[in-house]
């Protein structure tokens, strides 16, 4: 993280030291309000039983047990994991293919790039409504709707997210492909390598860093998905499973949200415990990524 620097001998840094309140103070105050304190309080409350925060009573791991026993939470986990993995593969393959074609010097490359990237700027809620109109426009001809079948919800969400994120991943891959040294490709050509051989033996090994970044991004994006999920299906359809109601297309983030704000019977402590589990999962993936990226930097 912070590299060791020579100790500051000059007057400027010695002077700057005393300016902490002005330079760092405002951010630090906001950071404590907006992140540090809510985070610490969130950890604490996940071990408490409460309706109002003032009345929180410490109960140990009870909330975690309840969270893990919750059928809807477990269903959301598997739905999310399946979605994250399928979307990861689909988006990365298509994004790489698009980037590969766009770096072949074909006519209209920059126009194609502009178009593919555009959906990435539209917010998740708006995307959800655009696609729910499109899917229902198709499905209503067969007398059904995206809200009727969990399969439609899954694949619908996948198409939506692919449409949104392919352009983004494509940009990262284009940067990677452009950094492949030309003389290497030239050498492969002179040696008589076919196009496929060049792609798999020269190009792909050289863009491994981009592939790593995009893999982790795809995975964490998949796990954290919320707006699109809420706006497209909102978790519908709902089925009964072992005496409790399960929203079949609900992902983890939405499940936590509904436990907090829509469930009358569950204490917010259980929702907070779910949130902590979710945090551990996502942070684990994120730290793995940082670690990986840093290792790569050392090698270069």
As a whole number of angstroms, the distance between CA 154 and CA 166 comes to: 18
Burial class (CB in 10 A: 0-12, 13-18, 19+), 95: buried
- Closest CA relative to residue 42, chosen from 296, 262, 285, 256: 256
Q: Considering the complex, what minimum distance in angstroms separates the CB of residue 290 from other proteins? A: 7
Q: 107 or 242: whose CB is closer to other proteins?
A: 107
As a whole number of angstroms, the distance between CA 202 and CA 198 comes to: 5
Q: 136 or 202: whose CB is closer to other proteins?
A: 136
Q: 133 or 241: whose CB is closer to other proteins?
A: 133
Q: 193 or 227: whose CB is closer to other proteins?
A: 227
Q: Considering the complex, what minimum distance in angstroms separates the CB of residue 10 from other proteins? A: 5
- Closest CA relative to residue 58, chosen from 70, 73, 43: 43
Q: 150 or 253: whose CB is closer to other proteins?
A: 253
Q: 195 or 241: whose CB is closer to other proteins?
A: 195
Q: 171 or 246: whose CB is closer to other proteins?
A: 171
Q: Considering the complex, what minimum distance in angstroms separates the CB of residue 136 from other proteins? A: 6
Q: Considering the complex, what minimum distance in angstroms separates the CB of residue 243 from other proteins? A: 26
DSSP for residue 90: H
Q: Considering the complex, what minimum distance in angstroms separates the CB of residue 86 from other proteins? A: 20
Alpha helices in the chain (DSSP H): 11-17, 20-23, 25-31, 37-45, 62-69, 71-102, 109-117, 124-139, 150-178, 182-190, 195-197, 204-206, 208-224, 227-232, 252-261, 268-299
Q: Two tokens at 224?
A: 């954290």
Q: Considering the complex, what minimum distance in angstroms separates the CB of residue 35 from other proteins? A: 5
Burial class (CB in 10 A: 0-12, 13-18, 19+), 163: middle
Q: Considering the complex, what minimum distance in angstroms separates the CB of residue 7 from other proteins? A: 7
Buried b (16+ CB within 10 A) or exposed e, 5-17: eeeeeeeeeeeee
Q: Considering the complex, what minimum distance in angstroms separates the CB of residue 195 from other proteins? A: 9
According to DSSP, the residues that pair with 138 across neighbouring strands are none
Cα dihedral across residues 132, 137, 139, 145: positive or negative: positive
Q: 27 or 241: whose CB is closer to other proteins?
A: 27
Contact 238, 248 (CB under 8 A): yes
SS3 state of residue 244: strand
């Amino acid at each position: 993280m912070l590299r060791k620097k020579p100790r500051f001998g000059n007057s400027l840094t010695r002077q700057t030291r005393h300016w902490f309140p002005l330079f760092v103070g405002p951010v630090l105050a906001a950071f404590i309000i907006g992140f540090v304190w809510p985070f610490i309080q969130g950890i604490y409350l996940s071990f408490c039983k409460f309706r109002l925060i003032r009345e929180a009573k410490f109960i140990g791991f009870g909330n975690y047990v309840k969270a893990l026993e919750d059928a809807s939470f477990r269903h959301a986990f598997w739905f999310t994991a399946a979605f994250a993995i399928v979307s990861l593969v689909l988006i990365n393959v298509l994004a790489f293919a698009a980037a590969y074609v766009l770096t072949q010097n074909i006519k209209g490359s920059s126009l194609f790039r502009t178009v593919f990237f555009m959906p990435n700027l539209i917010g998740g809620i708006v995307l959800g409504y655009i696609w729910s109109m499109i899917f229902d426009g198709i499905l209503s001809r067969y007398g059904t709707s995206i809200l009727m079948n969990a399969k439609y919800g899954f694949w619908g969400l996948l198409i939506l997210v692919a449409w949104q994120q392919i352009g983004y991943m494509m940009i990262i891959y284009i940067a990677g492909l452009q950094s492949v040294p030309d003389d290497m490709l030239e050498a492969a050509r002179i040696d008589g390598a076919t196009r496929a051989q060049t792609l798999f033996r020269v190009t792909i090994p050289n863009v491994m860093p981009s592939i790593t970044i995009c893999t982790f991004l795809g995975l964490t994006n998949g796990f954290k998905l919320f707006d699109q999920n809420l706006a497209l299906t909102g978790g519908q359809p709902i089925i009964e499973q072992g005496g409790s109601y399960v929203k079949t297309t609900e992902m983890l983030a939405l499940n936590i949200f509904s436990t907090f704000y829509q469930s009358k019977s569950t204490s917010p402590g259980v929702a907070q415990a779910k949130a902590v589990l979710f945090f551990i999962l996502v942070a684990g993936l994120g730290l793995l990524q940082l670690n990986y990226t840093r290792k790569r930097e050392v090698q270069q």
